[in-house]
Amino acid sequence: MTTKLVVDCSTGVVEEVELTEEELAQREADRIAFEAAEAARLAEEAEKAAKKAELLAKLGITEDDAKLLLS
């Protein structure tokens, strides 16, 4: 059973409420969307790191050298 905590700020009353079918479906859709976005982000980061390493190798300098040049 998946629940949510609902706080009525006008009264301070806290209720633990079971999620509806619609809310459960939304959670699943959000989870799938998040995992896809996360995979895309990680792929982009890996691609960026590979390109950076390739460029440094081509220039024959280290990352610290590059930082020094740009400082």
Partner 1 sequence: MPVTYKKIASVTVGAGGAASIDLTSIPATYTDIHCVFSIRGSQAQVYQQLQITFNNTTTGYSQRNLYGDGSTAVSNSLSGNHFFTDGVGANATVSTFGNGSIYVPNYAGSTNKSASLDLVTENNATLAYTQLYALLWSNTAAITSLKITAGSGTLNQHSTAVLYGISKS
Q: Which residues bind partner 1 (CB under 8 A)?
A: 2-12, 14, 16, 19, 23, 27, 30-31, 34-35
Find the shortest distance in angstroms from Cβ 61 to partner 1. Answer: 20
C-alpha angle 43-47-30 in degrees, rounded to nearest 5: 20
Nearest to partner 1 of 47, 60 (CB atom) = 47
Q: How far is the CB of 4 from partner 1 (least distance, A)?
A: 4
Burial readout 42-66 (b: 16 or more C-beta within 10 A, e: otherwise): eeeeeeeeeeeeeeeeeeeeeeeee
Nearer to partner 1, 2 or 60 (CB): 2
